[in-house]
A and B are shown apart, each in its own frame.
Chain A
Amino acid sequence: MGPRLKLFLPLFLFALLALVLFRGLFLDPSEMPSALIDRPLPAFNLPALGGGQQLSRDDVTGQVALLNVWATWCVSCRVEHPYLRELADAGIPIYGLNYKDSDVAARDWLDELGDPYRLNIADREGTLGLDLGVYGAPETYLLDARGVVRYRHVGVVNEEIWREVLQPLYLELEQGAITQ
């Protein structure tokens, strides 16, 4: 390296740093992909909401589906609820994971606001939530037909999120499921 060229080294390093900073402006540091991406949904054995039957992993696998983590104490869950009903009406399979909640409150909520869920897992102690790496409700997991976690969205699911993020993945997985 010539003596003059050596003096350009700081400039070069700064350019690299600036590039990273520029990229950083378009990243969300608080956005966190699930640690379970491309791994199967953890096994569980929990009651269905409202009692009666015990649910396990097999009950929520078999087709591409959404697994929505919700609770009555969660304010944003109320915000996304109407849109989940729309999705359910459009035929998207949605399973519920009622997270650290009371059965009574959860039943009342569904009676009052409508029930978009095919099944609801009652995770009163948050054990499945822990195995899933849930860190706050609402969270929505996209499962493929074999029950593998493909995507996690943290926060409210609304039309925009569905159209731009979840639906393309969902359709892709459906396509894959058919061709297999």
Chain B
Amino acid sequence: MIPEIGHFALILALCLALILASVPAWGAWRGNSVAMSLAPGLAVGLLVFVGISFACLATAFLQDDFSVKLVASHSNTLLPPMYKFSAVWGNHEGSLVLWALILSMWTAAVALFSSQLPLLVLSRVLSVMGAIAVGFLSFSLVTSNPFARLLPGAPADGSDLNPLLQDPGLIIHPPLLYMGYVGFSVAFAFAIAALLGGRLDASWARWSRPWTNTAWAFLTLGIMLGSWWAYYELGWGGWWFWDPVENASFMPWLAGTALVHSLAATEKRGLFKSWTVLLAIFAFSLSLLGTFLVRSGVLTSVHAFAVDPERGMFILVFLALVVGGSLTLYALRAPAVSSRVTFDWVSRESLLLCNNVVFLVAALTVLFGTMFPLIVDALGMGKVSVGPPYFNAVFVPLMALLVPVMGLGPVSRWKRDAAGRWRSELMVPTLVALFCGVTLPLLQAPYNIWVALAVLLSAWLLLGLVKDFWQRLRSASSLPGGLRRLTPGYLGMVIAHLGFAACIIGIVATSQYSVEHDLKMDPGDARELAGYEFRFIEVVQVRGPNFVADEARFEVTRDGRAVASMTPQKRRYLASGSVMTEAAIDAGLFRDLYVAMGEPVGEEGAWAMRLHYKPMVRWMWLGAILMAAGAFTAAADKRYRRQRMPAAAGNKVALHGA
């Protein structure tokens, strides 16, 4: 009965989404304020019904209702309850319901927290989001019904969740990622509403900025968690593979980064309006493209969902409607004549444009590289692979181009700055950064030029920020007063840029200095790796809730002092019989030690073991967390919420304009 309620709620949600997509939009077109004022209520209703549907699906999983096909094929009675819950989105059908749930959460949030928005704009925004919900809800209902029953013939037990997904990281990774993906739909909806209204102005940018920052922060966290999960769960010690599915989440991030910066210029200076609108369309389009790539099977990936051409066709049509439609609207309605706002070559605007150039080129390159095998295949010119060596070769120079500009950004002024001022501001940071870049890599022999470059760039970034921060504080009469005068927007920028610097250091240091050894070890053996002694004590049998495992015991010492006890496992899951390596990691701010078990070697109790020493690997994830924290801070700026009066006044104007 519960699955049927869920199914019915999903159908009702689709009906509400259809009304939301059409009635308020019609109201906005005809100036009918009754039709427009329905939008917030419909948005909340949509959330309620998708929420009921999601709750029903989750209940089916938690109650082991194996008559539901999805539960039977992705869960098991032995599964811990936490993973039964996360199993809801560990599959194609359920993850679509999560998509729809998060989309309706964003929609309802826009409806509830945008009382300062003119009704005309709000109704258009909500209608656009309703239209997207129509697409995903009908996709779910038509091609991927999560509530399909296995009647008669429900199995006594389910065939279990993929053991790789039985992990705390994977409970929150997809929801965060979807929060980011779907969050860009808000920026997209604001952009479309602005195009429909024909009024691209600074207020549009101000409304959409906090939403965009929030979505970007979630996407950053989602990607970071995915990378971290791959690192500790796959047992390879790798953290980024440039797999099509990873790229699918990275492309919207790159476009979103450009958008976040371009919105700043649009809000502050009324510049780049049509460009910013295009970026908003671009960021969300790449999110949708990612969904297509993951679920259609056109590219091979380790992470892809089960492949189904019918589903692929459905999303492709949806993609063509949404992206094709919005780009057509853009071509017809975007102002072709640029505004008369001017700025100098030496100005913050030109630096932000450089940022946009780098991130856009990066996003397009990742897109082209990801699609290239498919393009070649489609043209009948054979099969090629584009992998990490290509993406790294392209990406490293791009980021190296970005950082010098990034260091200038915070100290620069809008409209017109003087190169001489930049020189005097940044002379000391430049010299100190050069000094650090040259000397710090000397600590580790042999001298590594990549590390030198990374230290130079991130020191330049860090010192520029510190200098600027210090000057702002110094110009105030007192320290608390100075701190109070710093806006959340500024603080957010500082935090996020510091995070980026940490990321650079982490990525380069761990890529250049990691040591890895695959060894055959007998119990009692000790091996030295990067100054640490790994002693393999024994292998014991342990039992988990739904698996049995061989567990190796390692004692790690450094200069005779105990550092860590590590216990990697080789698990066999009872329901599916699949075997999994569970790596043991001793985490630290400056280094991770990593042990993974291979296979037993010979009869004497020896095992193949993989030992890793990974310096500063945490820095890239901490950096990503800082970036997200910065974006959340910036989004929390009160400035975005105190615009009631001017907005209310603008309401009338907008109505007239329509």
- Residues of chain A whose beta carbon lies under 8 Å from any beta carbon of chain B: 3-4, 6-8, 10-11, 14-15, 17-18, 20-27, 29-30, 32-33
Contacts and interface: CB of A to CB of B under 8 A. Distances in A.
Given A27-B378, A29-B377, A33-B383, A7 B316 contact: no
B592 to A, nearest CB: 35
B374 A20 contact: yes
Given A14-B285, A27-B377, A27-B378, A7 B292 contact: no
Given A18-B320, A21-B298, A7 B375 contact: no
Given A21-B316, A22-B316, A29-B299, A11 B377 contact: no
* 4 smallest beta-carbon distances between A and B, as pairs: A24-B298, A23-B378, A11-B327, A3-B336
B296 interface: yes
Contacts of B337: 3
A15 B299 CA distance: 19
A29 B374 contact: yes
Contacts of B375: 20
Contacts of B238: none
Given A17-B371, A21-B292, A27-B378, A7 B336 contact: yes
B378 A25 contact: no
B316 A25 contact: yes
Contacts of B289: 17
15 contacts: A3-B336, A7-B334, A10-B327, A11-B328, A11-B330, A14-B323, A18-B320, A20-B378, A21-B292, A22-B316, A24-B296, A24-B377, A25-B296, A25-B298, A29-B297
**Residue from A4, A14, A30, A32 having most chain B Cβ neighbours under 10 A:** A14
A18 B331 CA distance: 18
B45 interface: no
A7 B336 CA distance: 7
B588 interface: no
A127 to B, nearest CB: 24
Given A10-B278, A11-B331, A29 B285 contact: no
A7 B331 contact: yes
A11 B285 CA distance: 12
Nearest to B328: A11
Contacts of A20: 371, 374-375, 378
A33 B332 CA distance: 45
Contact of B298 (A6, A15, A27, A33): A27
B324 interface: yes
B63 interface: no
A144 B205 CA distance: 67
Nearest to B300: A29
Contacts of A21: 292, 296, 298, 316, 319, 374
Size category of the B interface is 35 or more
Nearest to A21: B316
A155 to B, nearest CB: 16
B488 interface: no
Contacts of B282: 10
A139 to B, nearest CB: 16
| Chain B facing A: main interface SS | helix
B378 A24 contact: yes
Contacts of A24: 296, 298-299, 374, 377-378
B313 interface: yes
Contacts of A11: 324, 327-328, 330-331
Nearest to B338: A3
Nearest to B301: A29
B336 to A, nearest CB: 4
B135 to A, nearest CB: 15
Given A11-B331, A21-B374, 4 more contacts: A4-B336, A7-B332, A26-B309, A27-B298
Interface in B295-325: 296-300, 309, 312-313, 316, 319-320, 323-324
Given A15-B324, A20-B378, A29-B373, A7 B330 contact: yes
A33 B274 CA distance: 46
Contacts of A15: 324
Nearest to B285: A14
A15 B324 CA distance: 7
B319 A18 contact: yes
A11 B329 CA distance: 10
A3 B334 CA distance: 11
A74 to B, nearest CB: 20
A14 B326 CA distance: 11
A1 B330 CA distance: 17
A79 B231 CA distance: 39
B255 to A, nearest CB: 12
Nearest to A24: B298
B364 to A, nearest CB: 9
A26 B328 CA distance: 27
A16 B315 CA distance: 17
Contacts of B274: 7
Contacts of B299: 24, 29
B378 A14 contact: no
A30 B285 CA distance: 26
B206 to A, nearest CB: 24
A67 B130 CA distance: 57
A123 B300 CA distance: 31
Contact of A25 (B281, B312, B328): B312
B482 to A, nearest CB: 44
Contacts of B373: 29
A8 B331 contact: yes
**Residue from A8, A23, A24, A25 having most chain B Cβ neighbours under 10 A:** A24
A72 B514 CA distance: 43
Contacts of A22: 316
Contacts of A10: 278, 281-282, 327, 330-331
Contacts of B278: 10
A8 B382 CA distance: 32
Contacts of A7: 274, 330-332, 334, 336
